[in-house]
Amino acid sequence: MSRKKGFWRSSLWSLSLLAVLAGCGSNAASDSNTSAAGTATNAAGGDAEKEPVVLKLTTWNPISQTVVDKFQEKYPYITIEHDKVYDQFREIIRTRIVSKSDMDMLWLFPNQVAEFSKEDVLMDITGSPWLDNYLEAAVKLGTVDGKTYGVPYNSQPIVMFYNKTLFGELGLEIPKTWDELLAVSEQIKASGTAPMVIGSKDGWATQFITTSQFGLYQHDNPDVFAQLASGEKKWTDPEFSTYFDGMKELADKGYLLENSVGLSYDQVAQVFKEGKAAMWPMGEWGYSENFDADFSAFELGAFPIPVNRGDQPLVTNLVSDNLLVGVSWSKHQEEIKLFMEFVADPEIAKIWSDETKQAVTVKGGTSETYSPLASSLQPLVDASEAQIFPSMTSSIEPVMFPIFQQILLKQDVDTAKLLEQMQAAQDKDI
């Protein structure tokens, strides 16, 4: 999914903390896959005698047809009917739910899951054994009031893209802490190249140095963002006192490309590709949206953004914005559970990962070939702690993004007062 045109503006800062599911697809992988998740030999055991079942799967993104085919081979009495809704997804799904239309499985945005879980719309999959195949943070994200309704599946890490060629010429190693990132930036600056580029014309694209701390907050307290949303915690609490300090430090030390503050997302990508800056913090979608097989100006790499200090762990924030759920009034709940179990198999997940060109939250399920960067990036992600990037309440975005822009412009700011502004916005949603 393209994040620059939809996700960050309409759903990243929504009301709750939930996310995605999907699966995998690759012809090469399917030739060799003999896992328990399924081949055509599984038609035994009475399946051929069962009444035909059609499962409707409603999504706004493409799915892995290879995985669907494999599922239907394993369960020949089940047919998956893919219903693609590209525009006005929220409105269309709300209308169908209100009218209790004939639905079985669908992808939902995070705030929709929180909303519909309170209306008895969603199947409860709490305690399903295959949930153990997912990252712990992913299962937690799909859980509301102690009940699990789905699991974030496809994901895209927040990363620091970097000029691997320049790093090699300067003898630099990938930084794994904030202090190491500063040291690397100082050496790059001394070489005559800008260490980093962040434009502020598109407010959402300014955030990733600062919001990469979200995973650290969740490491210390998994419920922190729910507590902020409820008023139990406040942005003015001591634990958030350094929230804006990292971005301010980069700006004050001159580590950001000069005269780049007014650049848009597309313009930032272009100046980075031209080698005018050595690093660019962005979601992994920045690769698919801006680079192709013909890019040869330098060797490109990516690593998790290291905002950890002292004994804090290195955390990779994973963005997931859709969740596969079952509908409570479906007549085919057992078949829905079979599909959910099927896509939780790591070998099946690798196929979906390859075919959808994204990482997945199934442990061991991300393909090392889903992206040209995957073979070098995925081991770094696996070596870090993974947290799912949270959604936030709706009044935060209009306040937070302009704050980032002020900092990038090197305006004289009082970070304590900025946090008061954040809390004032938060209070509107409580």
pLDDT at residue 407, as a whole number: 94
Q: Is the pLDDT of residue 360 over 60?
A: yes
DSSP three-state, residue 262: coil
Residue pair 351/26 in contact by the 8 Å Cβ criterion: yes
In the chain, the percentage of residues whose pLDDT exceeds 90 is 74
**Per-residue b or e along 121-135, where b marks 16 or more CB atoms closer than 10 Å to that residue's CB:** bbbebeebebbebbb
CATH code of the domain containing 116:
3.40.190.10
Q: Is the pLDDT of residue 411 over 70?
A: yes
Residue 381 counted as domain residue:
no
Q: What is d(CA 388, CA 408) in angstroms, rounded to the nearest whole number?
A: 26
Average pLDDT over residues 53-80: 96
298 and 330 inside one domain: no
Kindly report the length of the chain: 430
Average pLDDT over residues 412-424: 95
Residue 3 counted as domain residue:
no
Q: Is the pLDDT of residue 40 over 50?
A: no
Closest CA to 343 of 11, 16, 20, 21: 21
Q: What is d(CA 295, CA 67) in angstroms, rounded to the nearest whole number?
A: 31
pLDDT at residue 47, as a whole number: 67
Give the tokens for residue 138: 């992913």
DSSP three-state, residue 323: strand
HSE, side-chain direction, 13 A CA sphere, residue 47: 18
Average pLDDT over residues 206-226: 96
Answer whether 0.85 is exceeded by the pTM: no
Residue pair 279/163 in contact by the 8 Å Cβ criterion: yes
121 and 230 inside one domain: no
311 and 325 inside one domain: no
Closest CA to 422 of 239, 228, 252, 153: 228
Q: What are phi and psi of 273, to 5 degrees?
A: -65, -30
Residue pair 113/16 in contact by the 8 Å Cβ criterion: yes
284 and 213 inside one domain: yes
Of the pLDDT bands very low, low, confident and very high (cuts 50, 70, 90), residue 27 is very low
Q: Is the pLDDT of residue 258 over 80?
A: yes
Q: How many CB atoms lie within 10 A of CB 161?
A: 25
262 and 306 inside one domain: yes
Place of tokens 């075919």: 355
SS (H, E, C) 44-86: CCCHHHCCCEEEEEEECCCCCHHHHHHHHHHCCCEEEEEEECC
DSSP three-state, residue 279: strand
222 and 339 inside one domain: no
Average pLDDT, the chain: 89
Residue 375 counted as domain residue:
no
pLDDT at residue 48, as a whole number: 62
421 and 281 inside one domain: yes
Residue 169 counted as domain residue:
yes
What would the pLDDT profile of 67-121 be if each residue is shown by its tens digit? 999 999 999 999 999 999 988 888 999 999 999 999 999 988 777 888 899 999 9
423 and 345 inside one domain: no
Which helix (DSSP H) or strand (DSSP E) does residue 280 occupy? strand 277-283
Structural domain harbouring 20: 12-153+321-370
406 and 291 inside one domain: yes
Residue 142 counted as domain residue:
yes
- Residue 406, burial from CB neighbour count under 10 angstroms (0-12, 13-18, 19+): middle
Q: What is d(CA 168, CA 300) in angstroms, rounded to the nearest whole number?
A: 11
What would the pLDDT profile of 323-358 be if each residue is shown by its tens digit? 899 999 999 999 999 999 999 999 999 999 999 999
Residue 141 counted as domain residue:
yes
If one counts the domains in the chain, the total is: 2
45 and 24 inside one domain: yes
The pairs formed by 274-278 with CB atoms below 8 angstroms and a separation of 24 or more are 275/163, 275/166, 275/193, 276/193, 276/194, 276/197, 277/193, 277/194, 277/195, 277/196, 277/197, 278/162, 278/163, 278/166, 278/167, 278/188, 278/193, 278/194, 278/195, 278/196
Give the tokens for residue 240: 């958030």
Residue 376 counted as domain residue:
no
365 and 255 inside one domain: no
Residue 382 counted as domain residue:
no
Q: DSSP code of 254?
A: T
- Residue 291, burial from CB neighbour count under 10 angstroms (0-12, 13-18, 19+): middle
pLDDT at residue 15, as a whole number: 35
pLDDT at residue 270, as a whole number: 98
User: At CA 106, angle to CA 368 and CA 347, rounded to 5?
Assistant: 25
